[in-house]
Amino acid sequence: MYGGGYLFEKTSPDLLKEEDQEKLAAFEARIDRGEKIEPHDWMPKLYRQQLIRMIEQHAHSEIIGALPEGTWITRAPGFKRKLGLMAKVQDEVGHAQLLYSAAETLGKSREQMIDDLINGRSKYSNIFNYPAYTWADSCFISWLVDAGAIVNQVANSKGSYGPYCRALERICIEESFHLKFGHHCVTYLATGTPRQRQMMQEALNRWWYPMLMFFGPPDKISAHTEILMRWKVKILSNDETRQQWLDMYVPKIWELGLTIPDDKLRKNEETGKWEFTQPDWEEFKQVINGNGPCNKERLAVRRMAEKRGEWVRRAILVKASNKKYVTPLA
Ligand code: BYC
Protein backbone atom coordinates (compact mmCIF):
# COMPACT_ATOMS: atom_id res chain seq x y z
CA MET A 1 0.00 0.00 0.00
CA TYR A 2 1.11 3.54 -0.51
CA GLY A 3 2.12 6.08 2.09
CA GLY A 4 1.86 9.84 1.78
CA GLY A 5 4.70 10.38 -0.73
CA TYR A 6 4.83 10.21 -4.51
CA LEU A 7 5.21 6.80 -6.05
CA PHE A 8 7.82 8.15 -8.47
CA GLU A 9 9.94 11.25 -8.55
CA LYS A 10 7.52 14.12 -8.99
CA THR A 11 7.95 16.34 -12.05
CA SER A 12 9.14 19.61 -10.61
CA PRO A 13 7.86 22.87 -12.11
CA ASP A 14 11.25 24.26 -10.95
CA LEU A 15 12.64 22.77 -14.16
CA LEU A 16 10.88 25.64 -15.91
CA LYS A 17 13.07 28.26 -14.25
CA GLU A 18 15.67 27.88 -16.97
CA GLU A 19 13.16 28.56 -19.73
CA ASP A 20 12.75 31.91 -21.45
CA GLN A 21 9.91 33.22 -19.26
CA GLU A 22 8.35 35.36 -21.99
CA LYS A 23 8.18 32.45 -24.39
CA LEU A 24 6.84 30.23 -21.66
CA ALA A 25 4.04 32.71 -20.88
CA ALA A 26 3.10 32.99 -24.57
CA PHE A 27 3.12 29.19 -24.89
CA GLU A 28 0.88 28.75 -21.85
CA ALA A 29 -1.47 31.48 -23.11
CA ARG A 30 -1.87 29.56 -26.38
CA ILE A 31 -2.73 26.42 -24.45
CA ASP A 32 -5.22 28.31 -22.30
CA ARG A 33 -6.91 29.59 -25.47
CA GLY A 34 -7.30 25.98 -26.61
CA GLU A 35 -4.83 26.25 -29.50
CA LYS A 36 -2.95 23.19 -30.66
CA ILE A 37 0.85 23.14 -30.38
CA GLU A 38 2.48 21.81 -33.55
CA PRO A 39 5.94 20.19 -33.96
CA HIS A 40 7.76 23.30 -35.19
CA ASP A 41 6.27 25.62 -32.54
CA TRP A 42 8.33 26.71 -29.58
CA MET A 43 7.74 24.50 -26.53
CA PRO A 44 9.45 24.14 -23.13
CA LYS A 45 11.93 21.27 -22.87
CA LEU A 46 9.82 19.70 -20.16
CA TYR A 47 6.71 19.69 -22.38
CA ARG A 48 8.70 17.93 -25.12
CA GLN A 49 10.20 15.40 -22.68
CA GLN A 50 6.90 14.65 -21.03
CA LEU A 51 5.13 14.18 -24.35
CA ILE A 52 7.85 11.85 -25.66
CA ARG A 53 7.65 9.84 -22.43
CA MET A 54 3.88 9.55 -22.49
CA ILE A 55 3.34 8.96 -26.22
CA GLU A 56 6.20 6.49 -26.39
CA GLN A 57 4.82 4.52 -23.42
CA HIS A 58 1.43 4.57 -25.07
CA ALA A 59 2.87 3.25 -28.36
CA HIS A 60 4.72 0.47 -26.53
CA SER A 61 1.49 -0.46 -24.72
CA GLU A 62 -0.21 -0.97 -28.07
CA ILE A 63 2.36 -3.38 -29.49
CA ILE A 64 2.86 -5.22 -26.21
CA GLY A 65 -0.93 -5.24 -25.71
CA ALA A 66 -1.24 -7.13 -28.97
CA LEU A 67 0.67 -10.07 -27.43
CA PRO A 68 -1.74 -11.51 -24.82
CA GLU A 69 -4.63 -11.18 -27.29
CA GLY A 70 -2.55 -12.29 -30.27
CA THR A 71 -1.92 -15.71 -28.74
CA TRP A 72 -5.71 -16.26 -28.74
CA ILE A 73 -6.26 -15.71 -32.49
CA THR A 74 -5.78 -19.36 -33.44
CA ARG A 75 -7.68 -20.56 -30.36
CA ALA A 76 -10.63 -18.15 -30.47
CA PRO A 77 -13.91 -20.10 -30.58
CA GLY A 78 -15.15 -20.12 -34.17
CA PHE A 79 -14.21 -18.48 -37.44
CA LYS A 80 -15.97 -15.14 -36.78
CA ARG A 81 -14.24 -14.67 -33.43
CA LYS A 82 -10.88 -15.50 -35.02
CA LEU A 83 -11.48 -12.94 -37.75
CA GLY A 84 -12.65 -10.29 -35.29
CA LEU A 85 -9.70 -10.80 -32.98
CA MET A 86 -7.22 -10.83 -35.85
CA ALA A 87 -8.59 -7.49 -37.09
CA LYS A 88 -8.41 -6.06 -33.57
CA VAL A 89 -4.81 -7.15 -33.00
CA GLN A 90 -3.85 -5.72 -36.37
CA ASP A 91 -5.52 -2.42 -35.38
CA GLU A 92 -3.57 -2.29 -32.11
CA VAL A 93 -0.27 -2.64 -33.95
CA GLY A 94 -1.45 0.08 -36.35
CA HIS A 95 -2.13 2.31 -33.31
CA ALA A 96 1.46 1.82 -32.23
CA GLN A 97 2.60 2.96 -35.70
CA LEU A 98 0.48 6.13 -35.45
CA LEU A 99 1.80 6.85 -31.98
CA TYR A 100 5.46 6.23 -32.81
CA SER A 101 5.01 8.67 -35.70
CA ALA A 102 3.50 11.26 -33.34
CA ALA A 103 6.38 10.81 -30.88
CA GLU A 104 8.93 11.10 -33.70
CA THR A 105 7.69 14.63 -34.42
CA LEU A 106 9.21 15.55 -31.05
CA GLY A 107 12.69 14.41 -32.02
CA LYS A 108 13.13 10.84 -30.78
CA SER A 109 13.60 8.24 -33.50
CA ARG A 110 11.47 5.11 -33.75
CA GLU A 111 14.61 2.95 -33.61
CA GLN A 112 15.64 4.56 -30.33
CA MET A 113 12.15 4.05 -28.89
CA ILE A 114 12.09 0.37 -29.85
CA ASP A 115 15.60 -0.05 -28.51
CA ASP A 116 14.56 1.47 -25.18
CA LEU A 117 11.54 -0.83 -25.06
CA ILE A 118 13.33 -4.10 -25.73
CA ASN A 119 16.16 -3.21 -23.39
CA GLY A 120 13.76 -2.47 -20.53
CA ARG A 121 14.43 1.29 -20.37
CA SER A 122 10.86 2.30 -21.24
CA LYS A 123 7.59 1.54 -19.56
CA TYR A 124 4.36 0.24 -21.05
CA SER A 125 0.96 -0.42 -19.54
CA ASN A 126 0.99 -2.55 -16.37
CA ILE A 127 -1.99 -4.58 -17.54
CA PHE A 128 -0.23 -6.42 -20.33
CA ASN A 129 2.17 -8.03 -17.90
CA TYR A 130 -0.56 -10.37 -16.68
CA PRO A 131 -1.24 -13.71 -18.39
CA ALA A 132 -4.28 -14.39 -20.58
CA TYR A 133 -4.90 -17.98 -19.45
CA THR A 134 -8.30 -18.48 -21.04
CA TRP A 135 -10.44 -17.12 -23.88
CA ALA A 136 -12.35 -15.16 -21.21
CA ASP A 137 -9.16 -13.24 -20.33
CA SER A 138 -8.89 -12.18 -23.96
CA CYS A 139 -12.58 -11.14 -23.88
CA PHE A 140 -11.95 -9.06 -20.75
CA ILE A 141 -9.14 -7.21 -22.55
CA SER A 142 -11.23 -6.60 -25.67
CA TRP A 143 -14.13 -5.16 -23.73
CA LEU A 144 -12.99 -3.65 -20.45
CA VAL A 145 -9.36 -2.75 -21.11
CA ASP A 146 -10.34 -1.17 -24.40
CA ALA A 147 -13.15 0.64 -22.57
CA GLY A 148 -10.57 2.07 -20.17
CA ALA A 149 -8.37 3.07 -23.08
CA ILE A 150 -11.29 4.86 -24.73
CA VAL A 151 -12.16 6.83 -21.58
CA ASN A 152 -8.54 7.98 -21.31
CA GLN A 153 -7.99 8.62 -25.01
CA VAL A 154 -11.22 10.46 -25.77
CA ALA A 155 -10.24 12.91 -23.02
CA ASN A 156 -6.61 13.21 -24.17
CA SER A 157 -7.65 13.69 -27.81
CA LYS A 158 -8.90 17.14 -26.73
CA GLY A 159 -5.40 17.96 -25.51
CA SER A 160 -2.80 20.47 -26.60
CA TYR A 161 -0.31 18.62 -28.83
CA GLY A 162 -1.69 18.43 -32.40
CA PRO A 163 -0.04 15.21 -33.70
CA TYR A 164 -0.93 13.21 -30.56
CA CYS A 165 -4.55 14.44 -30.56
CA ARG A 166 -5.05 13.61 -34.23
CA ALA A 167 -3.60 10.11 -33.72
CA LEU A 168 -5.90 9.60 -30.71
CA GLU A 169 -9.00 10.63 -32.64
CA ARG A 170 -8.40 7.94 -35.21
CA ILE A 171 -7.43 5.38 -32.58
CA CYS A 172 -10.65 5.99 -30.61
CA ILE A 173 -12.81 5.32 -33.66
CA GLU A 174 -11.14 1.95 -34.16
CA GLU A 175 -11.30 1.20 -30.43
CA SER A 176 -15.06 1.62 -30.52
CA PHE A 177 -15.28 -1.42 -32.84
CA HIS A 178 -13.09 -3.37 -30.41
CA LEU A 179 -15.42 -2.43 -27.60
CA LYS A 180 -18.44 -3.83 -29.46
CA PHE A 181 -16.54 -7.00 -30.31
CA GLY A 182 -15.39 -7.38 -26.68
CA HIS A 183 -18.84 -6.67 -25.24
CA HIS A 184 -20.36 -9.30 -27.50
CA CYS A 185 -17.73 -11.87 -26.49
CA VAL A 186 -18.17 -11.19 -22.74
CA THR A 187 -21.98 -11.20 -22.98
CA TYR A 188 -21.89 -14.52 -24.82
CA LEU A 189 -19.86 -16.14 -22.04
CA ALA A 190 -21.65 -14.44 -19.15
CA THR A 191 -25.05 -15.59 -20.42
CA GLY A 192 -23.84 -19.00 -21.59
CA THR A 193 -23.48 -22.38 -19.88
CA PRO A 194 -22.47 -22.57 -16.19
CA ARG A 195 -18.90 -23.44 -17.29
CA GLN A 196 -18.75 -20.41 -19.60
CA ARG A 197 -20.11 -18.12 -16.86
CA GLN A 198 -17.58 -19.48 -14.41
CA MET A 199 -14.75 -18.91 -16.89
CA MET A 200 -15.83 -15.28 -17.37
CA GLN A 201 -16.17 -14.75 -13.62
CA GLU A 202 -12.69 -16.12 -13.01
CA ALA A 203 -11.24 -13.81 -15.65
CA LEU A 204 -12.98 -10.84 -14.03
CA ASN A 205 -11.52 -11.86 -10.64
CA ARG A 206 -8.02 -11.99 -12.14
CA TRP A 207 -8.18 -8.70 -14.06
CA TRP A 208 -10.15 -6.43 -11.72
CA TYR A 209 -7.27 -4.99 -9.70
CA PRO A 210 -4.76 -4.70 -12.60
CA MET A 211 -7.58 -2.87 -14.40
CA LEU A 212 -7.99 -0.37 -11.56
CA MET A 213 -4.23 0.21 -11.78
CA PHE A 214 -4.42 0.77 -15.55
CA PHE A 215 -5.51 4.40 -15.01
CA GLY A 216 -2.33 5.16 -13.11
CA PRO A 217 -1.63 5.79 -9.41
CA PRO A 218 -4.02 7.92 -7.33
CA ASP A 219 -3.69 11.65 -8.03
CA LYS A 220 -2.11 12.32 -4.68
CA ILE A 221 0.86 10.08 -5.51
CA SER A 222 0.97 10.59 -9.29
CA ALA A 223 4.25 12.15 -10.39
CA HIS A 224 3.27 13.92 -13.60
CA THR A 225 -0.46 14.66 -13.47
CA GLU A 226 -0.11 18.20 -12.18
CA ILE A 227 2.20 19.48 -14.93
CA LEU A 228 0.48 17.46 -17.65
CA MET A 229 -2.91 18.89 -16.72
CA ARG A 230 -1.51 22.41 -16.56
CA TRP A 231 -0.41 21.94 -20.19
CA LYS A 232 -3.55 20.05 -21.24
CA VAL A 233 -1.67 16.95 -22.24
CA LYS A 234 -3.88 15.11 -19.79
CA ILE A 235 -7.41 16.42 -19.67
CA LEU A 236 -8.61 14.20 -16.85
CA SER A 237 -6.58 13.07 -13.86
CA ASN A 238 -5.94 9.39 -13.12
CA ASP A 239 -8.66 9.35 -10.44
CA GLU A 240 -11.13 11.05 -12.77
CA THR A 241 -10.64 8.52 -15.59
CA ARG A 242 -10.86 5.65 -13.10
CA GLN A 243 -14.12 7.07 -11.73
CA GLN A 244 -15.52 7.60 -15.22
CA TRP A 245 -14.77 4.00 -16.19
CA LEU A 246 -16.33 2.68 -12.96
CA ASP A 247 -19.40 4.81 -13.59
CA MET A 248 -19.84 3.53 -17.12
CA TYR A 249 -18.90 -0.13 -16.71
CA VAL A 250 -19.72 -1.35 -13.19
CA PRO A 251 -23.48 -1.26 -13.94
CA LYS A 252 -22.88 -3.09 -17.23
CA ILE A 253 -20.82 -5.79 -15.49
CA TRP A 254 -23.52 -6.22 -12.84
CA GLU A 255 -26.19 -6.37 -15.55
CA LEU A 256 -24.48 -9.48 -16.89
CA GLY A 257 -24.83 -11.15 -13.50
CA LEU A 258 -21.08 -11.10 -12.82
CA THR A 259 -19.69 -10.40 -9.35
CA ILE A 260 -16.99 -7.77 -8.93
CA PRO A 261 -14.41 -9.11 -6.47
CA ASP A 262 -14.63 -6.21 -4.02
CA ASP A 263 -17.14 -6.15 -1.12
CA LYS A 264 -16.45 -2.47 -0.55
CA LEU A 265 -17.38 -1.35 -4.07
CA ARG A 266 -20.30 1.06 -3.95
CA LYS A 267 -21.31 4.41 -5.31
CA ASN A 268 -21.48 7.07 -2.63
CA GLU A 269 -24.68 8.84 -3.58
CA GLU A 270 -23.67 11.99 -1.69
CA THR A 271 -20.32 12.52 -3.38
CA GLY A 272 -21.29 10.77 -6.62
CA LYS A 273 -17.97 8.90 -6.38
CA TRP A 274 -17.27 5.18 -6.37
CA GLU A 275 -15.68 3.80 -3.24
CA PHE A 276 -13.54 0.72 -3.68
CA THR A 277 -10.68 -1.28 -2.23
CA GLN A 278 -7.42 0.22 -3.45
CA PRO A 279 -5.29 -2.10 -5.54
CA ASP A 280 -1.87 -2.97 -4.20
CA TRP A 281 0.21 -0.02 -5.43
CA GLU A 282 3.42 -1.75 -4.39
CA GLU A 283 2.54 -4.58 -6.80
CA PHE A 284 1.90 -1.93 -9.47
CA LYS A 285 5.34 -0.44 -8.93
CA GLN A 286 6.95 -3.87 -9.24
CA VAL A 287 4.99 -4.72 -12.39
CA ILE A 288 5.78 -1.50 -14.26
CA ASN A 289 9.42 -1.77 -13.32
CA GLY A 290 9.90 -5.16 -14.95
CA ASN A 291 8.93 -7.57 -12.18
CA GLY A 292 5.39 -8.60 -13.13
CA PRO A 293 4.31 -12.14 -14.01
CA CYS A 294 4.91 -11.75 -17.78
CA ASN A 295 7.36 -8.84 -18.25
CA LYS A 296 10.28 -11.04 -19.22
CA GLU A 297 8.21 -13.09 -21.64
CA ARG A 298 6.68 -10.00 -23.27
CA LEU A 299 10.05 -8.35 -23.87
CA ALA A 300 11.60 -11.61 -25.06
CA VAL A 301 8.86 -11.92 -27.71
CA ARG A 302 9.44 -8.30 -28.83
CA ARG A 303 13.18 -8.90 -29.01
CA MET A 304 12.61 -12.01 -31.11
CA ALA A 305 10.24 -10.10 -33.43
CA GLU A 306 12.82 -7.34 -33.78
CA LYS A 307 15.52 -9.85 -34.68
CA ARG A 308 13.36 -11.80 -37.11
CA GLY A 309 12.22 -8.62 -38.84
CA GLU A 310 15.70 -7.20 -39.20
CA TRP A 311 16.32 -8.61 -42.70
CA VAL A 312 12.99 -7.17 -43.90
CA ARG A 313 13.89 -3.70 -42.67
CA ARG A 314 17.35 -3.98 -44.23
CA ALA A 315 15.89 -5.18 -47.52
CA ILE A 316 13.48 -2.23 -47.61
CA LEU A 317 16.27 0.23 -46.90
CA VAL A 318 18.49 -1.34 -49.56
CA LYS A 319 15.61 -1.31 -52.06
CA ALA A 320 15.03 2.34 -51.27
CA SER A 321 18.68 2.99 -52.13
CA ASN A 322 18.37 0.76 -55.28
CA LYS A 323 21.00 -1.81 -54.29
CA LYS A 324 20.63 -5.53 -54.79
CA TYR A 325 19.82 -7.42 -51.59
CA VAL A 326 20.16 -11.19 -51.10
CA THR A 327 17.82 -12.60 -48.46
CA PRO A 328 19.42 -14.77 -45.75
CA LEU A 329 17.43 -17.76 -47.12
CA ALA A 330 18.84 -17.47 -50.65
N1 BYC B 1 1.16 1.23 -16.62
O2 BYC B 1 2.56 10.29 -12.75
P3 BYC B 1 1.79 9.17 -13.33
C4 BYC B 1 -4.52 -0.31 -24.79
C5 BYC B 1 3.79 5.13 -14.63
S6 BYC B 1 -3.07 0.59 -24.81
C7 BYC B 1 2.50 1.44 -16.59
O8 BYC B 1 0.35 9.09 -12.99
P9 BYC B 1 1.20 9.90 -16.06
C10 BYC B 1 -4.62 -1.56 -25.52
C11 BYC B 1 4.09 6.43 -15.34
O12 BYC B 1 4.55 6.19 -16.64
C13 BYC B 1 -3.50 2.10 -24.01
N14 BYC B 1 3.06 2.54 -16.06
O15 BYC B 1 2.01 9.13 -14.93
C16 BYC B 1 -3.59 -1.96 -26.37
C17 BYC B 1 5.10 7.06 -14.42
O18 BYC B 1 6.36 6.45 -14.60
P19 BYC B 1 7.64 7.26 -15.24
C20 BYC B 1 -2.57 2.53 -22.95
C21 BYC B 1 2.22 3.46 -15.55
O22 BYC B 1 1.94 9.73 -17.32
C23 BYC B 1 -3.65 -3.21 -26.98
C24 BYC B 1 4.60 6.61 -13.05
O25 BYC B 1 3.84 5.44 -13.25
N26 BYC B 1 -2.98 3.88 -22.65
O27 BYC B 1 -5.40 0.10 -24.16
O28 BYC B 1 0.86 11.26 -15.59
C29 BYC B 1 -4.72 -4.06 -26.75
C30 BYC B 1 3.80 7.66 -12.35
O31 BYC B 1 2.48 7.77 -12.93
C32 BYC B 1 0.83 3.32 -15.58
C33 BYC B 1 -2.10 4.91 -22.54
O34 BYC B 1 -0.92 4.72 -22.60
C35 BYC B 1 0.31 2.14 -16.13
N36 BYC B 1 -1.01 1.87 -16.18
O37 BYC B 1 -0.19 9.10 -16.14
C38 BYC B 1 -5.77 -3.64 -25.93
C39 BYC B 1 -2.72 6.28 -22.39
N40 BYC B 1 0.28 4.40 -15.00
O41 BYC B 1 7.29 7.47 -16.68
C42 BYC B 1 -5.73 -2.39 -25.32
C43 BYC B 1 -1.71 7.39 -22.38
C44 BYC B 1 1.29 5.19 -14.62
O45 BYC B 1 7.77 8.53 -14.47
N46 BYC B 1 -1.07 7.56 -21.10
N47 BYC B 1 2.46 4.63 -14.94
O48 BYC B 1 8.78 6.33 -15.06
C49 BYC B 1 -1.61 8.25 -20.07
O50 BYC B 1 -2.72 8.75 -20.16
C51 BYC B 1 -0.78 8.43 -18.83
O52 BYC B 1 0.55 8.17 -19.14
C53 BYC B 1 -1.24 7.51 -17.66
C54 BYC B 1 -0.26 7.73 -16.48
C55 BYC B 1 -2.63 7.88 -17.21
C56 BYC B 1 -1.18 6.02 -18.03
pLDDT (tens digit, 9 = 90+) per residue, 150-187? 999 999 999 999 999 999 999 999 999 999 999 999 99
Whether ligand 1 lies within 6 angstroms of the CB of 228 is answered as yes
Helix (H, G, I), strand (E, B) or coil at 273: strand
Whether ligand 1 lies within 6 angstroms of the CB of 182 is answered as no
Tell me 237's DSSP state. -
Best substitution site from 61, 86, 226, 243 to test ligand 1's pocket, by max atoms within 8 Å of Cβ? 61
Best substitution site from 47, 57, 244, 294 to test ligand 1's pocket, by max atoms within 8 Å of Cβ? 57
Nearest atom in ligand 1 to 69's CA: 29
Q: What's the confidence (pLDDT) of residue 178?
A: 96
Whether ligand 1 lies within 6 angstroms of the CB of 224 is answered as yes
Arithmetic mean of pLDDT, 84-113 = 98
Arithmetic mean of pLDDT, 252-275 = 98
Q: Cα–Cα distance between 204 and 312 in angstroms, integer?
A: 40
Q: Cα–Cα distance between 329 and 298 in angstroms, integer?
A: 27
Whether 98 contacts 170, CB under 8 Å: yes
Arithmetic mean of pLDDT, 294-312 = 96
Whether ligand 1 lies within 6 angstroms of the CB of 125 is answered as yes
Best substitution site from 123, 244, 285 to test ligand 1's pocket, by max atoms within 8 Å of Cβ? 123
In the reported structure, the alpha carbon of residue 287 is separated from the centroid of ligand 1 by a whole-number distance in angstroms of 12
pLDDT band at 196; cut points 50, 70, 90? very high
Q: What's the confidence (pLDDT) of residue 20?
A: 87
pLDDT band at 18; cut points 50, 70, 90? confident
Q: 308-319 in b/e burial notation, b at 16+ Cβ within 10 A?
A: eeeeeeeeeeee
Q: Ligand 1: which residue has its CA nearest to atom 1?
A: 125
Q: Cα–Cα distance between 96 and 198 in angstroms, integer?
A: 34
Q: Where are the domains of the chain?
A: 27-302
Residue 1 has pLDDT above 50, yes or no: no
Whether 328 contacts 318, CB under 8 Å: no
Whether ligand 1 lies within 6 angstroms of the CB of 223 is answered as yes
In the reported structure, the alpha carbon of residue 124 is separated from the centroid of ligand 1 by a whole-number distance in angstroms of 7
Residue 147 has pLDDT above 90, yes or no: yes
> Going by CATH, does the domain composed of 27-302 fall within 1.20.1260.10?
yes
Q: How far is CA 77 from the centre of its chain?
A: 26
Q: Ligand 1: which residue has its CA nearest to atom 27?
A: 149
User: Cα-Cα-Cα-Cα dihedral of 140, 145, 147, 152, to 10°?
Assistant: 170
pLDDT band at 4; cut points 50, 70, 90? very low
Model confidence over 179-188: pLDDT tens digits?
A: 999 999 999 9
Q: What's the confidence (pLDDT) of residue 259?
A: 98
Arithmetic mean of pLDDT, 311-315 = 92
Residue 41 has pLDDT above 50, yes or no: yes
Nearest atom in ligand 1 to 216's CA: 40
Best substitution site from 219, 224, 239, 283 to test ligand 1's pocket, by max atoms within 8 Å of Cβ? 224
Residue 5 has pLDDT above 90, yes or no: no
Tell me 278's DSSP state. P
pLDDT band at 208; cut points 50, 70, 90? very high
User: Phi first, then psi: what are they for 157, rounded to 5°?
Assistant: -70, -10
> DSSP labels for 153-194?
HHHHTTSSBHHHHHHHHHHHHHHHHHHHHHHHHHHHHHTS-H
Whether ligand 1 lies within 6 angstroms of the CB of 229 is answered as no
Q: What's the confidence (pLDDT) of residue 318?
A: 86
Would you say the pTM of this structure is higher than 0.85? Answer: yes
Q: Cα–Cα distance between 86 and 225 in angstroms, integer?
A: 35
Whether ligand 1 lies within 6 angstroms of the CB of 126 is answered as yes
Cβ neighbours, 10 Å, residue 14: 7
**Length, in residues, of the chain:** 330
Q: Cα–Cα distance between 111 and 207 in angstroms, integer?
A: 32
Q: What's the confidence (pLDDT) of residue 110?
A: 95
Task: Please give the radius of gyration of the chain, using alpha carbons only, rounded to the nearest integer.
Answer: 21
